[in-house]
Amino acid sequence: MKDRQAPEWLDTLGRCGVEMTGKAATDGPPVNAAIYAVSGFEVEPVAAIPASAPHAADELDEAWHHHASQASLYGGNGEFLILPPIPGGSEVGWVRVKDPVGKNLPSRISGVSGSPEFVAVSVDGRHLCAASVEESDYWVVVHEFKIQ
C-alpha cells in the first residue's frame, strides 16, 4: 500500500543505498549469537583502524569490503543479510538485501546513522562480516558459524 509509511529501518537501509530484496530472512544465525560474535570478550578483529587516522573511514570501507569478499559474504547474486543499523535493529532481525553501489558501505551507514557499525551475514547464515567501533578504533570482525 502506497499510503502506508515505510518502517524507519527500511527507510534507513534505503538511505544507506542498500536495497531490500526479500522479507525477513529466517536463514541467518540467531541475532544474539551474531552480536556476541562481534562484541564478545574474546573477539579479535581481522582489521583495526585507528579512528584518529587521517583517512580512517576510507580505510574501514576498504578493509570491510575486502574481508566481506574473502569471507564469502555475498551470495551469487550479491545478496546478504543485514541487521538494520538503527536502535532496535536486532529486534527487526535479519533483512535480505543487495548493495548496488558495491563500495563504501560503512561510510554510507555512518552518514545516515552517525556510526559505521553494522552486522552482516551471508544468506546461508554461515559467514559474518561486521564493522564496529571499539574504544578509539574501527574494527572489522569476521566469524564463521558452524551450521549443523
State pLDDT tens for residues 109-123: 999 999 999 999 999
Cell of 72: 564469502
| Strands 137-144 and 127-134, sheet pairing | antiparallel
Q: Would you say the pTM of this structure is higher than 0.75? A: yes
Report pLDDT digits (tens) over 26-78. 678 999 999 999 999 899 999 999 999 999 999 999 999 999 999 999 988 88
Domain ranges of the chain: 8-144
Cell of 90: 536486532
Q: Say which residues have a Cβ less than 8 Å from residue 81's Cβ, sequence separation at least 6.
A: 25, 27, 28, 94, 95, 96, 97, 120, 121, 122, 123, 125
